[in-house]
């Protein structure tokens, strides 16, 4: 019987996940379908239960349900625990298992697709919400020289720094407001704020971009205000989050099917469309 998977979100019509997983399934000869399910804001758990009862094997979870998915999971991976958010649920007779593939997706894009070696680099992560939290542990695991967390509300970045310091394993971790960044330089600047959603860019001091630096926006689909500002400030390279989207999907696919799809042709296909 064909195995069923889905992405649950609200909104979800714009999601590229069905297209991505369809190509993965084709490339790896997996007998499966992948659909998009729109759940009402208070209807996430019901949507999951209905899909499970209909024979679903697993789901991806997107905005605004990653915390609901975390709460629903009976067991969770360490990376989901650190993120306190779940983007991948797997159903089995043992129950619902939650994982978070966003962080490894980001790292895979930065290292494999963009060719960066993050060890010893100075990384600036902008934002202190769910998106930032989701990628923190995998970023620390790449052993940067320093991981600086900066947020519009400085207190939130300081709290996040304190929460992750025990997991930093020798890597320097800092947290504060944007103004405190004045005079500093970074090799990689990652925008994990939701500012791009409202066509805004975080208000950063000038001069943050070191020579050969990369500006990375976790949003995808357009040149965001953050990327425009980064170019004007001298960032050598710009990247949006499309590669992260494809790589997190590949990791979810691997969790469900035990097969790693080649992401390069999928990324090329999406870039063309």
Residues near ligand ATR (CB under 6 A) are 127-132, 151-153, 156, 193-195, 200, 202
Which residue number, 89 or 135, has a Cβ lying nearer to ligand ATR? 135
Q: How many CA atoms lie within 13 A of 53 on its CB side?
A: 6
Which residue number, 195 or 267, has a Cβ lying nearer to ligand ATR? 195
Residues annotated as catalytic are 66
Rounded to a whole number of angstroms, the minimum distance from the CB of residue 238 to ligand ATR is 18
Rounded to a whole number of angstroms, the minimum distance from the CB of residue 2 to ligand ATR is 33
Rounded to a whole number of angstroms, the minimum distance from the CB of residue 193 to ligand ATR is 3
Which residue number, 45 or 194, has a Cβ lying nearer to ligand ATR? 194
**How far apart are alpha carbons 30 and 57 in whole angstroms?**
13
Q: CA nearest 216: which of 186, 240, 250, 182?
A: 240
Rounded to a whole number of angstroms, the minimum distance from the CB of residue 202 to ligand ATR is 4
Which residue number, 27 or 242, has a Cβ lying nearer to ligand ATR? 242
The pair of structure tokens assigned to 152 is: 């519009």
Rounded to a whole number of angstroms, the minimum distance from the CB of residue 173 to ligand ATR is 17
Which residue number, 66 or 257, has a Cβ lying nearer to ligand ATR? 66
C-alpha distances in Å from residue 112, one per residue of 106, 167, 192, 243, 260: 10, 24, 20, 10, 14
What is the secondary structure of the chain as a DSSP string?
--EEEEEEESS-TT--HHHHHHHHHHHHT--EEEEEEE--TT-HHHHHHHHHHTTEEEEEE-TT-HHHHHHH-SEE-HHHHHHT--SEEEEETTEEEEE--HHHHHHHIIIIIS----TT-EEEEE--SHHHHHHHHHHHHT--SEEEEEESSHHHHHHHHHHHGGG-TT-EEEEEESGGGTT--EEEEEE-SSGGGGT----PPS--EEEEEEEEES--SS--HHHHHHHHTT-SEEE-THHHHHHHHHHHHHHHHS-----HHHHHHHHH-
Rounded to a whole number of angstroms, the minimum distance from the CB of residue 85 to ligand ATR is 8
Instruction: Name the closest residue to ligand ATR (Cβ).
Output: 129
Which residue number, 38 or 67, has a Cβ lying nearer to ligand ATR? 67
């Amino acid at each position: 019987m064909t195995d069923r998977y889905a992405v649950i979100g609200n909104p979800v019509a714009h999601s590229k996940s069905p297209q991505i997983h369809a190509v993965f399934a084709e490339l790896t000869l997996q007998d499966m379908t992948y659909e998009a399910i729109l759940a009402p804001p208070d209807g996430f758990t019901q949507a999951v239960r209905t899909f499970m009862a209909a024979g679903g094997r697993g789901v991806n979870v997107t905005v605004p349900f990653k915390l609901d998915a975390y709460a629903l999971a009976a067991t969770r991976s360490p990376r989901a625990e650190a993120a306190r958010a779940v983007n991948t649920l797997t159903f089995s007779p043992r129950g619902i298992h939650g994982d978070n593939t966003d962080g490894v997706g980001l790292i895979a894009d930065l290292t494999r697709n963009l060719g960066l070696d993050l060890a010893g680099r100075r990384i600036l992560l902008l934002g202190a919400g769910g998106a930032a939290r989701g990628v923190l542990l995998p970023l620390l695991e790449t052993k940067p020289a320093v991981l600086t967390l900066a947020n519009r509300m400085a207190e939130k970045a300081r709290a996040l720094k304190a929460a992750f310091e025990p997991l930093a394993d020798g890597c320097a971790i800092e947290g504060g407001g944007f103004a405190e960044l004045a005079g500093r330089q970074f090799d990689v600047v990652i925008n994990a704020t939701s500012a791009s959603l409202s066509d805004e860019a975080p208000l950063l001091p000038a001069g943050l971009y070191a020579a050969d630096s990369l500006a990375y926006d976790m949003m995808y689909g357009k040149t965001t205000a953050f990327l425009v500002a980064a170019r004007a400030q001298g960032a050598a390279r710009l990247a949006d989050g499309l590669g992260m989207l494809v790589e997190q999907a590949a990791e979810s696919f691997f969790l469900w099917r035990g097969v790693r799809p080649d992401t390069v042709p999928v990324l090329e296909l999406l870039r063309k469309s």
